[in-house]
Homo-oligomer: A and B are copies of this chain.
Amino acid sequence: MGRAMRLSIDVRLDYGISGDADVLLQIEAAAMADQKIESESLTIWSDSPIRAVRGEDGIGQRCWSRGHGRFTAEYKSIVAVSRERVQLELYPATPPRMLDGELTPYLMPSRYCPSDRFEGFVGREFGGLEGGPLAAALTEWVYQSLEYRCGSSSGETTALDTFASRSGVCRDYSHLLVSLARAGGIPARCVSAYAPGVDPPDFHAVAELWLAGDWRLIDATKMATCSDIARVCVGRDATDIAFMTVFGQAYLWEQRVTVTPLD
């Protein structure tokens, strides 16, 4: 079985808001079988009541709040991660038609993961593969083909852009792997996460592929391993897993994410 790792997470967000705006935060590590929340506190400075709602697929939670002129939040937690190592090569393929209904959206193209455009590439370059061996080959291909470079992409960058620019940050690695997997008939979703090795320290984005009856966590950047990742939330792409969505205009003042392995 996998080894356990305890992570200390410390986040501070400080934004300016034009007038008033509803703000949706998604920054709390999710309580799940393979990641226990030992302690946690979320503080939001706001005159309005804070309201938590469930995250996508029932994983984690989102927190609604309201900013006026300024929006400041702090999150601290200790999470114990205990997760088996993923061995992609061993998982057999499941044909799309045998998948459960809640997986259907993860076979479909989405805004930043236009997987339908990649069917030709996956078919030609990875033609004989399926299931776990395909997932392993795609993961390695993404890792080898991209260069990790801060500032090389923006919030509008799609997997199609990344496929040509051959560079990006964690978000782009996640989008491209998810797009290629879906194009190969494997359900895939994006995951917002915390991990200690992310450089520069920031929110992290990884992927989950549905193989052999479960979601398999993969970091195509190889900055994190599946044993030191604490999931925050999941979704179709960056739209769903954004750490903050402002229903109005906001400006970054300061943002800090610190993830430290304990003992």
On whether the beta carbons of B119 and A165 are closer than 8 Å, the reply is yes
On whether the beta carbons of A108 and B164 are closer than 8 Å, the reply is no
CA distance A109 to B237 in the complex (A): 11
Pick out which of these stretches binds chain B: A29-37, A90-98, A213-221, A224-232: A90-98
CA distance A90 to B158 in the complex (A): 38
A88-108 to B contact mask, C-beta < 8 Å, 1/0: 000000011111111011011
On whether the beta carbons of A240 and B108 are closer than 8 Å, the reply is yes
Query: Which residues of A, 91-141, contact B by the 8 Å Cβ criterion?
Result: 95-102, 104-105, 107-111, 114, 117-121, 123-124
On whether the beta carbons of A161 and B160 are closer than 8 Å, the reply is yes
Q: Which residues of chain B are near A120, meaning CB under 8 Å?
A: 147, 164-167
- The SS class assigned to the A binding surface is mixed
Q: Which residues of chain B are near A72, meaning CB under 8 Å?
A: none
Query: Does A66 belong to the interface (CB within 8 Å)?
Result: yes
A36-77 to B contact mask, C-beta < 8 Å, 1/0: 000000000000100101111000011011100000000000
Give the distance to chain B from A250, nearest Cβ to Cβ, in Å.
12
Q: Quick one: given A51-B97, A65-B97, are A147 and B124 in contact (CB under 8 Å)?
A: yes
CA distance A163 to B121 in the complex (A): 8
Give the distance to chain B from A105, nearest Cβ to Cβ, in Å.
7
Interface residue total, chain A, C-beta cutoff 8 A: 53
Q: Quick one: given A48-B97, A97-B51, are A108 and B239 in contact (CB under 8 Å)?
A: yes
Give the distance to chain B from A109, nearest Cβ to Cβ, in Å.
6
Listed residue (A61, A99, A100, A104) with the most chain B CB atoms within 10 angstroms of its CB: A104
Q: Which residues of chain B are near A107, meaning CB under 8 Å?
A: 247
Q: Which one of B22, B55, B98, B114 lies within 8 Å of A111 (CB-CB)?
A: B114
Query: Does A255 belong to the interface (CB within 8 Å)?
Result: no
CB<8 Å pairs between A and B, sample of 24: A22-B97, A23-B97, A24-B104, A53-B99, A53-B100, A55-B101, A56-B104, A62-B104, A64-B99, A108-B240, A108-B245, A109-B239, A111-B114, A117-B165, A119-B165, A120-B147, A121-B164, A124-B147, A154-B154, A154-B156, A156-B156, A160-B160, A160-B164, A163-B164
